[in-house]
Amino acid sequence: MHRLQGITDSPLTKKGAARAYKLGKRLNQVEFRAVYASDLKRTQATAEIIIAENQGPRPAIHCDPGLRELSFGSYEEMKNRRMIPAVLSKVKPGQIFSIVRGPKRVSRVVDLFKSANHGFKVENAQELNQRITRTLMQLGKKYEAQGGNILIVSHALILSVFIENLSGNLPFLLLQNTHLSRVDYENGKFKIIEIE
């Protein structure tokens, strides 16, 4: 597809479906107490494919807008080959190197989209992290007493910001689609167990 999807409610691609199927096979022995996805079709389809492969009970999929991806504003649905030069034109010389080489790379990229979008409602990194953290806290509190696994299907950028703010450890820029991360919630705190 090679374009920014953000909050665009686009369907899951064939490649995305194939990746979801592989992840479903990997997780087929994990029993999930609940399943949550963003309110966008592609995450719901991903969750459906993963759960369809599960050997245990298949809970209903709950949609939560708090899991939705960042809006890319004027860059929404723009092809990458047009978007990259357009965004870079808003950056001072040398600034891109400090963004990709410095700490909090993903958060800095989010803030770059915020600053490049005048007249569009685009969250900054702090707002995006607050939204995903608040949503995951609510889910953690809801299921903490019962224990068990919750499958959460969201989006690469918002989850990358969340993981980056928890640990600072990420691949070079973003978690990939159908990337598996295990995060435990206990006593109001998150703990990263595994990032694959």
pLDDT at 116: 84
Taking a C-beta distance cutoff of 8 angstroms, is the pair 151, 58 a contact?
no
Q: Phi then psi for 61, rounded to 5 degrees?
A: -90, 125
Domain ranges across the chain: 14-195
Q: How many CA atoms lie within 13 A of 136 on its CB side?
A: 27
Angle at 139 between CA 133 and CA 144, to 5 degrees: 115
Q: What is the pLDDT along the chain (196 residues), one digit of tens a residue?
A: 578 889 999 999 999 999 999 999 999 999 999 999 999 999 999 999 999 999 999 999 999 999 999 999 888 898 988 988 888 887 777 777 777 777 888 898 899 889 888 778 899 999 999 999 999 999 999 999 999 999 999 999 999 999 999 886 665 667 888 889 999 999 999 999 988 8
User: Of 89, 38, 43, 27, which Cα lies nearest the Cα of 67?
Assistant: 38
Strand-strand pairing, 181-186 and 61-63: unpaired
pLDDT at 171: 59
- Cα–Cα distance for residue pair 76/82, rounded to 1 Å: 11
Q: How far is CA 10 from CA 13, 47, 101, 117, 162, in A?
A: 9, 15, 32, 22, 23
| pTM of this prediction exceeds 0.85 | yes
**H/E segment holding residue 190:** strand 189-195
Fold of domain 14-195: Rossmann fold (3.40.50)
pLDDT at 138: 98
Chain center to CA of 121: 19
Q: How would you label 9-36 residue by residue, b for 16+ Cβ within 10 Å and e otherwise?
A: eeebeeebbebbbebbeebeeeebebbb
